[in-house]
Chain A
Amino acid sequence: MAKVLVVTSGKGGVGKTTSTAALGAALAQSGQKVAVVDFDVGLRNLDLVMGAERRVVFDLVNVIKGDARLDQALIRDKRIETLHLLPASQTRDKDNLTEEGVARVIAGLREKFDWIICDSPAGIERGATMAMRHADVAVVVTNPEVSSIRDSDRIIGLLDSKTEKAEKGEQVEKHLLLTRYDAARAQRGEILKVEDVLDILSIPLLAIVPESTEVLRSSNLGAPVTLGSPNSAPARAYCDAVRKLKGETLVEVQKQRGLFGKLFARRAA
């Protein structure tokens, strides 16, 4: 059965779009049929990070308004056959995201794909609430920094109250993705540690994505980091995240990981 996953954070600039692209590509690489959907109407960027910016013809709003069919708007990735992108509109505004229209698009995607990954815009306005509306699973992207953590806490509150699942008395499965993490600085007490963030937000950890130049390098090149730099630490973190999302038990391979392995060791605690 198809799963709808929302990548959300409240705060902007923490790595939602990067993470959507990386998780989508990693899931597709593992053989799953994946659609990544950009909900940032007016400020689309997922197309750019995925290197599909020159291939956008129709978008999410076109499909909602009936100007285009879903299969016309979906862009197939050139590198991975099972990965598709539904871009956001750049010219319309978020009021075009009607409740009924979004429900129809998600239902259509559920028929064709194993995973539908919704890239939420920053904030708690319509775009963000529509992106999380139909979610079964949520990945809350957080930086180890006070404003990001506060906003994540707010988003967790919304996931527990404003989603379809919450309204039915069920729970959206929530996971924390800690991004831009610098273990050395955390060790020196300059930034919050993994344990601190987990303690404060109290949702389970999906993965720690370390601060790395490879993330920017890949987005410069228009490739999800799992494709553009598959052996980098961030790519490995996203691949671990995907295995967890698919319900696989991670086989611990920490010994070869050196410093990075130490980082992961803490996760077990």
Chain B
Amino acid sequence: MSLFGFFKRQTSAPVARERLQVLLAHERTVVGPHSDLVAILREEIMAVIAKHMAVPQDKVQIKMDRGASVSTLEVDIEIPASVVGLRPAA
């Protein structure tokens, strides 16, 4: 590491602090009956999709990112071209 890099190096404690604050804010409410929220959402979303088309389970990616004030749930569904009734947007 260059001398310049050494001086520029970020301290790690603030990162630890922020990670803990975000994590614990969630764990305090989520530990217990709702700890499997992502699994529940995944199942219910899959059930809704299955009503309309056949998508293999492994073509669905669900990710959750917990932020300090906002959390995001990302649902990525790869819809096969063979799915009946799906047309390109006009």
Contact = CB atoms under 8 A, between A and B. Distances in A.
Interface of A: 146, 149-150, 153-154, 157, 186, 188-193, 196, 199-200
B24 A146 contact: no
Interface in B10-32: 11-14, 16-17, 19-21, 23-24, 27-28, 31
Contacts of A200: 17, 20-21, 24
Nearest to B12: A190
Given A188-B11, A190-B11, A200-B21, A146 B27 contact: no
A189 B31 CA distance: 30
A157 B13 CA distance: 24
Contacts of B14: 189
B20 A146 contact: yes
A189 B9 CA distance: 11
20 contacts: A146-B19, A146-B20, A149-B24, A150-B23, A150-B24, A150-B27, A153-B27, A153-B28, A154-B31, A157-B28, A157-B31, A189-B13, A190-B11, A190-B12, A192-B13, A196-B16, A199-B17, A200-B20, A200-B21, A200-B24
A161 to B, nearest CB: 10
Could you say which interface size class chain B belongs to?
10 to 19
A153 B17 CA distance: 14
Contacts of B16: 146, 192, 196
Contacts of A199: 17
Nearest to A189: B11
A150 B24 CA distance: 7
Interface of B: 11-14, 16-17, 19-21, 23-24, 27-28, 31
Contact of A153 (B11, B12, B13, B24): B24
B31 A196 contact: no
Contacts of B12: 189-190
B24 to A, nearest CB: 5
A111 to B, nearest CB: 37
Contacts of B24: 149-150, 153, 200
Contacts of A191: 13
A192 B17 CA distance: 7
Nearest to B24: A153
A56 B23 CA distance: 43
B13 A193 contact: yes
B23 A190 contact: no
A191 B20 CA distance: 13
Nearest to A146: B16
Contacts of B27: 150, 153-154
Nearest to A200: B20
A190 B13 CA distance: 5
Contacts of A146: 16, 19-20
The 3 A-B pairs of least Cβ separation, nearest first, read: A189-B11, A189-B13, A196-B17
Contacts of A154: 27, 31
A15 to B, nearest CB: 19
A182 to B, nearest CB: 12
A200 B27 CA distance: 13
Contacts of B31: 154, 157
